[in-house]
Amino acid sequence: MRAFLALLLLIAVSTAAFARDLTTKDGKTFYNFIVEKVLPSGLQIRHSTGEDLIVIANLPADILSEYYPSSSTTTAAASPTPPKSLSILVAGGETYRDVVITRVEPLGIRFQHSSGVAFIDFKYLSPTDRRKFNFNINVYQQAVTAEAEHKQAVAAAREQQALAEQQRLQEAAEAARYTSRDYSTRYSQLSSSTPTPTPYQTYESDYTTTTPTYYGGGRVYVHGYYRKDGTYVRPHSRRR
């Protein structure tokens, strides 16, 4: 027993020692992550709140060099740093002024502008603006694929949840129906087995089925009743 507890303690200490956090280039942090699969498009990880696919372009430099050493050398020689601000940006038929870039993601850019905040997919940017933000068609396609797979997984999970809820409601309704039917059956059985008394036909082993009326002088008046053998006893008085 002590050896087993010692083994569990060793596993817990080892897990705590090797637990790592991952902060992606777009600013998201995944705590206590474990790499489950190394895919061409990115890392499939399990973390403290679930599972995610992190595309290569969104991996930090240390993780990229650890799992994709060839990609890290290519990234080191990447294009110049994207601009932090733009006086004007035209995309998707809209014109944004006083643009401040807050995040460059594999699928597009997030920014603040004079009227609020926005996200623009790379496909809506002009070729010139795409080059400013180091657009890479391969990375973009990987991100699109990962996003589609994620949406499909979420949709499948929601569908499974809806089916489970529907089954639960059906089972609850069926259980309620059986319970109601059982109560009805029991009530019918009790009703059929219990005879309905008629006036003056309630039988008792004693002499009376009604409360006697007491008079003075130690006498009591007894109402008429039927004995179990069917004979009728007329109303009478007797001593208490």
Residues 6+ apart with CB under 8 A from 85: 98, 99, 100, 101
pLDDT in tens, 37-48: 888 778 889 999
8 A C-beta contact, residue 51 and residue 37: no
| Per-domain residue ranges of the chain | 2-76, 85-135, 198-240
| Burial class of 76 by CB neighbour count within 10 A (0 to 12, 13 to 18, 19+) | exposed
What DSSP string runs through 138-169? HHHHHHHHHHHHHHHHHHHHHHHHHHHHHHHH
pLDDT, residue 139, reads 86
Cα 107 to Cα 135: distance, rounded to the nearest angstrom: 9
Pick from 54-68, 89-103, 203-217, 219-233: least confident: 203-217
Coil, strand or helix: which one is 75? helix
pLDDT, residue 201, reads 45
Coil, strand or helix: which one is 15? helix
pLDDT in tens, 68-78: 877 645 454 44
The CATH code of domain 2-76 reads: 2.30.30
Q: Is the pLDDT of residue 185 over 60?
A: yes
> In the chain, how long is the greatest CA-to-CA distance?
124
Apex CA 100: angle with CA 99 and CA 103, to 5°? 125
Cα 222 to Cα 210: distance, rounded to the nearest angstrom: 8
